[in-house]
Amino acid sequence: MSTFKAPKGTYDLLPPDSAKFLAVREAIAAPLRNSGYGYIETPGFENVELFARGVGESTDIVTKEMYVFETKGGDRLALRPETTAPVLRAVLEANLHKAGNLPVKVWYSGSQYRYERPQKGRYRHFSQVGAEAIGAEDPALDAELIILADQSYRALGLQNFRILLNSLGDKECRPVYRAALQDFLRGLDLDEETLRRADINPLRVLDDKRPEVQKQLTDAPLLRDYLCDACKAYHEEVRQLITAAGVVFEDDPKLVRGLDYYTRTTFEFVHDGLGSQSAVGGGGRYDGLSEMIGGPALPSVGWALGVDRTVLALEAEGIELDIPSVTSVFAVPLGEEARRVLFSKVTELRKNGVAADFSYGGKGLKAAMKAAHRSGARYALVLGERDLAEGVVQLKDMESGEQIAIGVNEIVAELESRLG
């Protein structure tokens, strides 16, 4: 056993469980690839200021949860706590927004890092799949992304999740609501830190999960009562589009997201089988983020879905994913000459697209067949000295137990035929 362990609040993904995480990532990514979204990958760390400006200096993410360090050259960097700001930074840096084909539609998959109190469903290192549509203000884009996320979860077999939907207004109507909310909050019994947050961004107080705070917010003014006509019309069109697509959602007038850059459409995917950590993903529109980080006006919308949380949701519903075995054929050589012959055939099978594995380490027949069973292989190839002398190999169907002898030179063709 190693003297080292994974850092607190992190985890290792190991087979066979890791196959479930890969299947979730693929299920989320598949609808995106079919809808014009191209893959993007950004560094695992960025300039601290990118997150301070974009995510918001008053957010818990920036003030409490970022892993910040200084390089030998004196640069202050942070492990990414979220990926929307880095994606937008990358699009601006590469001038993709100037290519004349807006919106720029991209998706990503990767790890995020936040210094949080570890608990089930909340880790300091976690994985997300996300999508961003950058450079267009169109309710159809908001609806498209909500529909694609819904398709992803339905494809996985999830049923007991809910979509919460709200509008956070824009630069025209939100300031009026902000002032009304601040007046309300000043009349509450809040601690000094929360009052300071209310002065910077009062919507962040609405996202406070502490019961003693939520209890006092029962009669807080609702943003929907302050929306301008343009925001009302925009939000109504989003609602109509996703309804027409058969997506069920709940209007949640108190829903706000934990990042400062959101405007207008905001939504969250929750699963009640996960207890207090019920959110499995979410997102919204962020029309002003580009200007916040020094770019031009680029209205955008996106979401991120937690792979870890989605796996927990699957477990909560008792859903077992149909994950095919990574091995179709397992070769068992008995003796040095058999080892040479079968290794050559395994290599040829792999070149022809057949997933094949090999019994390494000179195992005997009994131990090698146990390894074949553990691999989940459909067929086993067993080659001993007598088989070699006769120019045949034993082909065993691991499901039925049927075993037949075939010519050594027929192995590849026979298995390709059987496996399709």
Average pLDDT of the residues in 325-349 = 94
Residue 318 has pLDDT above 60, yes or no: yes
- Structure confidence at residue 30 (pLDDT): 96
Q: What is the 3-state secondary structure (H, E, C) of the chain?
A: CCCCCCCCCCCCCCCCCHHHHHHHHHHHHHHHHCCCCEECCCCCEEEHHHHHHHCCCCCHHHHHHCCEEECCCCCEEEECCCCHHHHHHHHHHCCHHHCCCCCEEEEEEEEEECCCCCECCECCEEEEEEEEEECCCCHHHHHHHHHHHHHHHHHHCCCCEEEEEEECCCCCCHHHHHHHHHHHHHCCCCCHHHHHHHHHCCHHHHCCCCHHHHHHHCCCCCHHHHCCHHHHHHHHHHHHHHHHCCCCCEECCCCCCCCCCCEEEEEEEEEHHHCCCCEEEEEEECCCHHHHCCCCCCCEEEEEEEHHHHHHHHHHCCCCCCCCCCCCEEEEECCHHHHHHHHHHHHHHHHCCCCEEECCCCCCHHHHHHHHHHHCCCEEEEECHHHHHHCEEEEEECCCCCEEEEEHHHHHHHHHHHHC
Average pLDDT of the residues in 26-41 = 96
Round to whole Å and give the CA distance between 185 and 63: 21
**Preceding peptide of 16 cis, ω within 30°:** yes
- Structure confidence at residue 258 (pLDDT): 59
- Structure confidence at residue 60 (pLDDT): 67
Average pLDDT of the residues in 170-194 = 87
- Structure confidence at residue 48 (pLDDT): 92
Average pLDDT of the residues in 32-48 = 96
- Structure confidence at residue 200 (pLDDT): 79
Please say whether the beta carbons of 40 and 90 come within 8 A. Answer: yes
- Structure confidence at residue 59 (pLDDT): 65
CB neighbours of 230 closer than 8 A, spacing ≥ 6? 170, 172
- Structure confidence at residue 192 (pLDDT): 84
pLDDT band at 90 (very low <50, low <70, confident <90, very high): very high
Read off the pLDDT of residues 110-158 as tens digits, 9 standing for 90 and up: 999 999 888 777 889 999 999 999 999 999 999 999 999 999 999 999 9
Report angle CA 52, 53, 55 to the nearest 5 degrees. Answer: 70
- Structure confidence at residue 326 (pLDDT): 85
- Structure confidence at residue 242 (pLDDT): 98
Residue 260 has pLDDT above 70, yes or no: no
Residue 405 has pLDDT above 60, yes or no: yes
Read off the pLDDT of residues 6-21 as tens digits, 9 standing for 90 and up: 999 999 999 888 999 9
**Preceding peptide of 103 cis, ω within 30°:** yes
- Structure confidence at residue 171 (pLDDT): 86
- Structure confidence at residue 137 (pLDDT): 95
Which tokens belong to 372? 């074949």
Average pLDDT of the residues in 171-184 = 88
Residue 261 has pLDDT above 90, yes or no: no
- Structure confidence at residue 321 (pLDDT): 92
Q: Are strands 250-251 and 161-167 parallel, antiparallel or unpaired?
A: parallel
CATH classification (class only), 18-173+227-316: alpha beta
pLDDT band at 175 (very low <50, low <70, confident <90, very high): confident
Round to whole Å and give the CA distance between 137 and 285: 9
Read off the pLDDT of residues 212-245 as tens digits, 9 standing for 90 and up: 888 888 888 888 899 999 999 999 999 999 999 9
CATH 3.30.930.10 placement within the chain: 18-173+227-316
Q: What percent of the chain has pLDDT over 90?
A: 71
Average pLDDT of the residues in 309-334 = 92
CATH 3.40.50.800 placement within the chain: 329-419
pTM for this prediction: 0.88
Please say whether the beta carbons of 249 and 143 come within 8 A. Answer: no
Residue 412 has pLDDT above 90, yes or no: yes
Asked which of 194-208, 298-312, 400-414 is least confident by mean pLDDT, the reply is 194-208
Residue 259 has pLDDT above 70, yes or no: no
**Domain 329-419, second-level architecture:** 3-Layer(aba) Sandwich (3.40)
Q: What percent of the chain has pLDDT over 70?
A: 98
Round to whole Å and give the CA distance between 265 and 283: 8
Asked which of 54-68, 104-118, 123-137, 190-204 is least confident by mean pLDDT, the reply is 54-68
Round to whole Å and give the CA distance between 100 and 220: 44
Average pLDDT over the chain, rounded to an integer: 91
